[in-house]
Amino acid sequence: MSDIDDLKSKYLKQISDASDEASIEAVRLAAVGKKGEVALKMRELGKMTPEERQVAGPALNALKDEINSALNARKASLADAALEERLKTEWLDVTQPSRPRAEGSIHPISQVTEELTAIFADLGFAVAEGPQIENDFYNFDALNIPPEHPARQEHDTFFMHRAERDNRPPHVLRTHTSPVQIRYMEEHGAPCRIIAPGRVYRSDYDQTHTPMFHQVEGLAIDKDISMANLKWVLEEFFAAFFEIDGIKTRFRASHFPFTEPSAEVDIQCSWEGGKLVIGEGDGWLEVLGSGMVHPKVLLSANVDPNEWQGFAFGMGIDRIAMLKYGIPDLRAFFDSDLRWLRHYGFAALDVPTIATGLSR
Ligand code: DAH
């Protein structure tokens, strides 16, 4: 009996000395493993007299149970200690102030592009894109502007050199977003409803012109789209964009090679004491060009003009950004003046959506 007590005190001591999982496992194998000391003792039961066995059997079982529960308890307390240790090192003071406001801000052009994308998305328009380095065909010919057309001169186009070398028509920096109409219809056919915001380039520089600026193209093609749909879409857009109910638009007959009929669109405004106010009064401000897509344009994008028709428009993003946020000089957009950017910039996390509001 006394060797059972010896085993017990020996292993309980080893268990309480064990300082990690591996040493606990070593003790377990030595004590109650298949070839451990307790198992060996159990094998000796067979050699005992029935009387001896009656005493030794239960005693060995009790020893085995006791060692097992000591092992489990030690394992649990080591795990607790490890967790405690981790909690101490991974400590975080949630009452500390958050980081100071980020230095950067969203440029008004990016903000306005997000705003108009949110509004047109709400009206069911997808966003399409095209390359800024365009070829003659997409920038001009496909839009019904043949080589001798005066509109080519009006565009103050930047031409790329490469073509002269290749003896092919030169690539150009796109002068407007209208080529995206062609690219989109070529790829997706009709019906379609898209806007195409992006950079455009013209060789021009003064208070109202910069060599790079931004346009958004609109295109809606279906079986029965009319100028009335165009007017409704634009009025919805301007009301949402300027956050004014019932803003009026005026359509003036105009001419663009890629639309027939064509209209320039003005929005209602007033000049109160030299201050421009959008959406009231009896003044008018031109904001975009538009019209019904010319059948030749549909044809060059492989869309059958006998089956499909629709409207298109092109609007200067910089222009409507200046109007909405009271920015007097276009050139400021591109000066990278940090003080200006801080003044007009928008917080990075204020993403414009119809649900949360466009601008704050
Ligand atoms: N592409 C024209 C420009 O840059 C703007 C424009 C006018 C686009 C009428 C259109 C349109 O889609 O229908 O001056």
Q: Whose CA is nearest to atom 4 of ligand 1?
A: 176
Q: Which of 58, 62, 67, 50 is nearest to 15 (CA)?
A: 67
Token duo for residue 2: 């006394």
What pLDDT, in 10s, does the model give residues 256-287? Answer: 999 999 999 999 988 887 788 888 888 898 99
Q: Whose CA is nearest to atom 2 of ligand 1?
A: 314
pLDDT recorded at residue 101: 65
- Going by the DSSP 8-state scheme, the letter that residue 130 receives in this structure is -
Helix axes 317-325, 108-122, angle to 10 degrees: 100
- Cβ contact 191:273 at 8 Å: no
- Among 252, 258, 260, 319, the mutation site with the greatest number of ligand 1 atoms within 8 A of its Cβ is 258
Q: How many Å apart are CA 201 and CA 211, to the nearest integer?
A: 5
Q: Which of 34, 38, 36 is nearest to 56 (CA)?
A: 38
Question: How far is the centre of ligand 1, averaged over its atoms, from the C-alpha of 263 (Å)?
Answer: 10
pLDDT recorded at residue 352: 83
138 lines ligand 1 (CB under 6 A): no
What pLDDT, in 10s, does the model give residues 195-236? Answer: 999 999 999 888 788 999 999 999 999 999 999 999 999 999
Question: How far is the centre of ligand 1, averaged over its atoms, from the C-alpha of 162 (Å)?
Answer: 27
Q: How confident is the model at residue 301 (pLDDT cuts 50, 70, 90)?
A: very high
* pLDDT > 90: percent of the chain: 56
Q: What are phi and psi of 319, to 5 degrees?
A: -60, -50
Mean pLDDT is highest, among 83-87, 123-127, 353-357, for 123-127
What pLDDT, in 10s, does the model give residues 124-140? Answer: 999 999 999 999 999 99
For the chain, what is the total number of helices (H) and then of strands (E)? Answer: 13, 10
pLDDT at 182 over 80: yes
What pLDDT, in 10s, does the model give residues 305-343? Answer: 999 999 999 999 999 999 999 888 888 999 989 889 888
- Among 178, 209, 215, 264, the mutation site with the greatest number of ligand 1 atoms within 8 A of its Cβ is 178
Q: How confident is the model at residue 360 (pLDDT cuts 50, 70, 90)?
A: low
- Going by the DSSP 8-state scheme, the letter that residue 301 receives in this structure is T
Q: Give the lowest-confidence range in 189-193, 301-305, 347-351.
A: 347-351
Can you tell me which atom of ligand 1 is nearest the CA of 217?
12
290 lines ligand 1 (CB under 6 A): yes
Residues found in the chain: 360
Q: How many Å apart are CA 258 and CA 143, to the nearest integer?
A: 5
* Residue-averaged pLDDT of the chain: 90
Q: How many Å apart are CA 2 and CA 9, to the nearest integer?
A: 11
Question: How far is the centre of ligand 1, averaged over its atoms, from the C-alpha of 326 (Å)?
Answer: 24
Per DSSP bridges, beta strands 126-127 and 249-256 are unpaired
Question: How far is the centre of ligand 1, averaged over its atoms, from the C-alpha of 216 (Å)?
Answer: 9
Q: For 108-343, which CATH class?
A: alpha beta
Question: How far is the centre of ligand 1, averaged over its atoms, from the C-alpha of 275 (Å)?
Answer: 28
